[in-house]
Amino acid sequence: MRYALLHILFALAFAPLLAGVINRVKAFFGGRRGPSLLQLYYDLFKLLRKGAVYSRTTSWVFRAGPCIALAAVLLALVLTPLGTTPALLAFPGDLLLVVYALGLMRFVTVLAALDTGSAFEGMGASREVQFSALAEVALLVGLLAVAARVEAFSLSVLARQAWSGGMAWPSDAILLLVAAALLVVLLAENARLPFDDPNTHLELTMIHEVMILDHGGVDLAMIEYASALKLWVMGAILVSLALPLPTAQPMLNLVAGLGAIMVLALLIGVIESVMARLRLVRVPQLLVTAGILSFLAVMVAMR
Amino acid sequence: MTLLLICLALLLAGAAACALPLRSGVIGPYAATGAAVLASVAGFTTLITGAMQTVTLPVHLPFDTLRLGLDPLSALFVLLIGVIGALAAVYGRGYLAGQDRRKTALSWCWYNLLVAAMLLVVLARTGFIFLVAWEVMSLASFFLVVHDHEKSGVLRAGWIYLIATHLGTAFLLVMFLLLGRDGSLDFAHLAAAGVSASLVFALALVGFGTKAGFVPLHVWLPEAHPVAPSHVSALMSGVMIKIGLYGLLRVLTFLGPPPAGWGWTLVSIGAVTGLTGVLFALAQHDLKRLLAYSSVENVGIIALALGMGLLGIAAGDPVVSTLGICAALLHVVNHALFKSLLFFGAGAVIHATGTDRMDRLGGLLRLMPRTGTAFLVGAAAISALPPLNGFISEFLVYAAAFKAVSAGTHPWSGLVAVAGLALIGGLAAACFAKAFGIVFLGAPRSAAAVQAHEASLSMNGVMVLLAVLCVMTGLGGLWMVRWVAPAASQLLPPDMTTDALQTLFDMLGRIGYAALALIACAAGLYGLRTALLRRREVRQDETWGCGYVAPTARMQYSASSFVQPIGVMFAALLRTRHYLHAPHGLFPTGARLHTDTPDVFVQSLFAPALRVLVRLAAAFRDLQQGRTHQCILYIVATLLLLLIWHLG
C-alpha cells in the first residue's frame, strides 16, 4: 500500500521526465546538446499560467475533453503496478479497466479534434481511431497470453507472478513475444516513431500532434501531462511483464522499476534516432504483426 | 400477473380506440404509456422477488389451452418492453405531433398491438399462443415501418422486412413441430434430445436469428429501421430484435445441457455478426442506417457472450457459464437503453433538420445542447467506455473469455472472443466518434443544419432520462447483475451459480467505485481549469487552419473521409463503390466523389439466390394461366387424390 502510493507519487512527479530523456538521447545521436531534461516541466508551467483562445466552432466537448482525458489516465495509473510493486487499486479484471480508460482518453481527444471543424484535426482523428483499433487487439491478446500463463486476471498479480517461476520455457517465450508486441503498441499509442513523428508540428503525416493543434494554455498542459502519464502507464505495464525484478526488498523493487522505466525511455530514444517514420499504409501492417506476436504468445500459453 | 393481464387489456382497448374512425385515436399514446409503465412495474417486482407464476385462461384454442406465465427470464424482457415501450410512446407523441390525425391514430393502433404482442410472446407458455403473438408482433411492426409509405423506398424496405420475418417464422413452425411430438405444444412438455435437439437448436438459430439479426440473416435490419419513424426504430432496435434472443434463450431451457458445439456455433456467429455489423456501420453515411448496423454488431456481442456461457455449461465451469450468461442478459438490457437513446437522438436530428445524412449535418451540439449531450452519453456507452453501462457488459464477456483461456476449458473460443471483442470495441469507438463528431461537432455543413432547433420538452426529457439510466446502470453494475442473476440461473445448471456470482459481485463493486472516482476526478479537474482561467483572458477566434484564413464548413472531414482508411483496410469485405467525377482540363470546373456501401450479403448472396429462385419459379408458370376451368380441374384432381389416399 505504502509503496503503491509511492509509485503513484513518483509517476506524477517523473512522468514528464521521460520526454526529456527521450529528447536528450535523440539530441545525442544527432550530435546536438539538446533541450534540458526538465524541458517538459518548463513547458507545462508556462502553459498553466496562460489564458485561453477557443475556436468559435467549438463547444463544451472541446473544453471538457482534456479534463476527462487526464482523469482517465489518472484512473489507469491507480490501477497500474510497477514490477512487483502492486497497484493502489488491484482486483480481478483491472487490466480491462486500464485498457478501456485509455480508450476513453482517446475517444475524448478524437471528439475534441472533430469539434474544431478543421480538416487537419479530422485527418489526425481518423488515423488515430484506425490505428488504435488494431493496437487494442495486440494489447488485449498480449495480456490474455500472460493471464493464461499465470491464471490470473489482475495486472498486479500478473506482474508479480510472471517471473516467479524463473526463466524457463515456455514462460520466457510468452513474455518475450508479449514484450515485443507491447513495445510496438506503446510506440503506436504514444505517438512515437515509427508511427508518428512527435517533432513535426504542421505536417500532414502526423496523428496525435495534429489532433491537439487548437488546444492551448491550461488545456494543452493537461493534454501534455496526460500524454506523459500515458507513456508512464504503458511503460510500467511493459516493464512489469518483461523484466525480472525479483528481490525481497519492496523499496529496492520500486527503485529498480523506476530505473527500468528510464531505461525504456532511453530505448525509445534510440529507436527514434535510428528509425525513420513508416509510410502510413505500412502502419497497419506493423500493428497487425504485433497482434500476430500476441496470438503466438497465447498459443504457446495454451499448449 | 394480474397486472400484466390488465396491461394487455389496456393495450388492446387502446388499439381498438385508435382503429375506430373517431377522435378517440388521441388516447393511443396514453394507453400505451400507461400499460407499459404497469408492465415494467410487474416485470421489476418479479425480478426482485424471483417468483414464478402461471395462469391458464378459460379460453379454448385449437391444439392447446391459453397458458401464460411469468418467471425471471420473462420478467426481464417484460421490464425492457415496459420501460422502452413507455418512453418510446412519450417520445412518439411529440415526434408525430402535427402529422395527419387519421394516419397517426392508425400508427398508434399498431403501436399498442406491437407492445401487446411482444408482452404476449414473452409471457406465452404454449407454442400456439407464442406463434400467434409472434406473427402479430411481426405484422404490427411491419405496418409501423411503412408509416411513411408515400415516401420512396419505404414500401420496398417494408416488403423486405415482411418476407424476411416470415421466412424466419417458417423455421420456427418446423421447430415447434419437432419439439412437440407428443401432441402438446405446452412449454412444460416440450423437450428434445440428441440429434433432434441439435436440429431444434439449428432451426431456432435461423428462425430467431432472423429476428435478432445474425449475419447473414440481418439484411432486413438496415432496410427497415431507417425508414420507420424514430420511436418505432428505437422500440424495434432496442426491444423487438431482443425478443428473438428471448426466443433462443427460452428454447435453450427446453433442450437440456448444451453440447460444446452449440457454444462454438454461437461464438462464431457472434464474432462474425459483431465484426460485420460494426464495419458496415462505419461505412454508412446515414445516421439511422449506421445505428441499425450497430444493432447487428451488438446482437453479435450478445451471441458471443451467450456462446461463452454455453461453452462454460458444457465444460462444467461455473465461472465461465455464469459470466457468459449474465453478460448476454446484461448486454440485452444495456443495448436496449443506449440504442433507443441513440435512435431518439437521431429522430430529434431528423425532426430538426429534415435529414439524417451526416454530410449535411454538423455543429448541432450548440443548437441542440440537450439532444447532443444525451446522444454523446449514448455514443460513449455503446463504445463500451467506462464509466457507462456498455463497459460493464463487455467487461463480463471479456472476463468469461479470459477465464476460459486461463482455465483451459475452451481456450480457442476464449481467444476468438477476446480478439473479436477488442477489434469490435475499437471499431465501435471509431464508428461512434464519427456518428457524434460529424453530426454534432464542428461547423454546420448545410443550411438545414444551421437552422436546426432543439426538440420538444417531452422528447428531450425521454432522452435525458435514458442518458441518466445509462450512467446509473454503469455505476451500479453490481445491482444490475443482481437483478439479471435469477433470469440467468434459469439457463444454468442448478449447482453452478452462487460462488461464481460472488466473484462477479466483487469485480463489479470495485468497477463501480472506480467509475465514480473517474467522474469525480474529471469534475474536479474541470473545476480546477475553470478556477485557473477565471481572471485570465479567454478569447474566441477562428479555428487555426495552419495559416489558411478562409476555411469553410465544406473543408471539414466528412463522414466518408473519416472512415476511408479503415474502409481501405477492410475493402475485401466492405466493397465500397466509388463514383468519381474527377476534375479535367486546364480550368477544371467541378469535381464530385460519391461513395456507397451496399450490404455485401444482399449483393452476393441473397440477390443471386433470389434470381435463381425466380428462374425456377418461371418454369411453373404454365400451370397457372388464369383460366377458371383449369382451376376447377386442379381442385377436382386434388379431391380425387385425397379420396383415393383416404380410402387406400
* pLDDT of B625 strictly over 80: no
Q: What is the CA radius of gyration of chain A?
A: 19
Average pLDDT, rounded, for chain B: 89
* pLDDT of B497 strictly over 70: no
**Once rounded to an integer, what is the mean pLDDT over residues B6-24?**
82
Alpha carbon distance B619, A132 (integer Å): 54
Exposure string of B414-444, with b = 16+ CB inside 10 Å and e = fewer, is bbbbbbbbbbbbbbbbbbbbbbbbbbbbbbb
Alpha carbon distance B57, B76 (integer Å): 23
Phi, psi (rounded to 5 degrees) for B318: -65, -35
| CB-CB under 8 Å, B411 with A56 | no
- Count Cβ–Cβ pairs < 8 Å, chain A vs chain B: 259
- Using an 8 Å CB-CB cutoff, list chain A residues near B565: 126-127, 130, 280
Alpha carbon distance B568, B331 (integer Å): 31
Average pLDDT, rounded, for chain A: 88
Lowest mean pLDDT among B132-146, B324-338, B483-497: B483-497
How many separate domains does chain A show?
A: 1
Q: What is the CA radius of gyration of chain B?
A: 26
Exposure string of B529-551, with b = 16+ CB inside 10 Å and e = fewer, is beebbeeeeeeeebbbbeeeeeb
* pLDDT of A96 strictly over 70: yes
Distances (CA, A) of A92 to B329, B384, B425, B490, B643: 21, 18, 20, 26, 72
Alpha carbon distance B105, B26 (integer Å): 7
Residue in chain A closest to B505 (alpha carbons) equals A92
* pLDDT of B243 strictly over 70: yes
Q: What is the pLDDT of residues B377-421, one digit of tens each?
A: 999 999 999 889 999 999 999 999 998 988 888 888 899 999 999
The pLDDT of residue A164: 63
Strand positions, DSSP E, chain A: 52-55
| CB-CB under 8 Å, A133 with B529 | no
Contact B382, B268 (CB under 8 A): no
Q: Which of A61, A151, A298 sits opposite B441 (nearest CB)?
A: A61
For chain A, the straight-line distance linking the first and the last C-alpha, in angstroms and rounded, comes to 36
- Note whether B634 contacts A: Cβ–Cβ < 8 A: no
Alpha carbon distance B396, B323 (integer Å): 6
- Note whether A12 contacts B: Cβ–Cβ < 8 A: no
Alpha carbon distance A137, A124 (integer Å): 20
Instruction: Quote the minimal CA–CA distance from B571 to chain A in Å.
Output: 14
Cell digits of residue A118 = 478543421
* pLDDT of A165 strictly over 60: no
For chain B, the straight-line distance linking the first and the last C-alpha, in angstroms and rounded, comes to 51
Distances (CA, A) of B311 to B138, B245, B274: 32, 17, 19
Q: What is the pLDDT of residues B581-612, one digit of tens each?
A: 888 888 888 888 888 888 888 888 888 998 99
- Note whether B435 contacts A: Cβ–Cβ < 8 A: no
Cell digits of residue B349 = 436530428
Can you say how many angstroms the Cα of residue B640 is from the centroid of all Cα atoms in its chain? 50
Can you say how many angstroms the Cα of residue B269 is from the centroid of all Cα atoms in its chain? 16
| CB-CB under 8 Å, B503 with A302 | no
Residue A252: CB atoms within 10 Å:
12
Alpha carbon distance B255, B188 (integer Å): 12
Contact B357, B286 (CB under 8 A): yes
Task: Band the pLDDT of B428: cuts 50, 70, 90.
Answer: very high
Whether the complex's predicted ipTM is more than 0.85 is answered with: yes
Contact B419, B426 (CB under 8 A): no
Q: What is the pLDDT of residues B256-302, one digit of tens each?
A: 888 999 999 999 999 999 999 999 999 999 999 999 999 999 999 99
Task: Give, as one character, the DSSP assignment of residue A85.
Answer: B
- Note whether B441 contacts A: Cβ–Cβ < 8 A: yes
| Exposed/middle/buried for residue A27 (C-beta within 10 Å: 0-12, 13-18, 19+) | middle
Domains of chain B by residue range: 257-526+558-580+592-598, 601-647
Alpha carbon distance B155, B166 (integer Å): 16
Residue B340: CB atoms within 10 Å:
30
The pLDDT of residue B455: 87
Residues 22-51 (A) with a CB less than 8 A from some CB of B: 48, 50-51
Contact A150, A157 (CB under 8 A): yes
Bridge partner residues of B578 (DSSP): B595
Residue scoring higher pLDDT (A264 or B60): A264
The pLDDT of residue B148: 87
Alpha carbon distance B277, B559 (integer Å): 17
**What torsion, rounded to 10 degrees, do the Cα atoms A185, A188, A194, A196 define?**
180
Is the four-CA dihedral B184, B189, B194, B196 of positive or negative sign? positive
- Using an 8 Å CB-CB cutoff, list chain A residues near B438: 114
| CB-CB under 8 Å, A68 with B542 | no
Alpha carbon distance A96, A155 (integer Å): 9
Contact A100, B399 (CB under 8 A): no
Alpha carbon distance A99, A104 (integer Å): 9
Alpha carbon distance B423, B419 (integer Å): 6
Q: What is the pLDDT of residues A74-92, one digit of tens each?
A: 999 999 998 888 888 888 8
**Continuous H helices in B213-286:** 221-227, 230-235, 241-254, 260-283
Residue B338 CB partners (closer than 8 Å, separation 6+): B377, B378, B381, B382, B388, B389, B390, B466, B470
Residues 45-84 (A) with a CB less than 8 A from some CB of B: 48, 50-61, 63-64, 66-68, 70-72, 74-75, 78-79
**Once rounded to an integer, what is the mean pLDDT over residues B463-479?**
92
Residue scoring higher pLDDT (B179 or B201): B201
Can you tell me which residue has the cell 440467468?
A: B488
**Once rounded to an integer, what is the mean pLDDT over residues B326-336?**
95
- Residue A29's domain comprises 2-302
| Exposed/middle/buried for residue A141 (C-beta within 10 Å: 0-12, 13-18, 19+) | buried
| CB-CB under 8 Å, A114 with B557 | yes
Q: What is the pLDDT of residues B126-164, one digit of tens each?
A: 888 899 999 999 999 999 999 988 888 899 999 999 999
| CB-CB under 8 Å, B518 with A302 | no
**What torsion, rounded to 10 degrees, do the Cα atoms A196, A96, A286, A284 define?**
-70
The pLDDT of residue B583: 87
Cell digits of residue A285 = 501492417
Contact B578, B595 (CB under 8 A): yes
| CB-CB under 8 Å, A52 with B538 | yes
Count Cα neighbours of B533 within 13 Å in the Cβ-side half-sphere. 19
The pLDDT of residue A245: 61
Kindly report each contact of residues A245-249 with a partner whose C-beta sits within 8 Å and lies 24 or more positions away, as own/partner. A245/A83, A245/A84, A245/A163, A246/A84, A246/A163, A246/A164
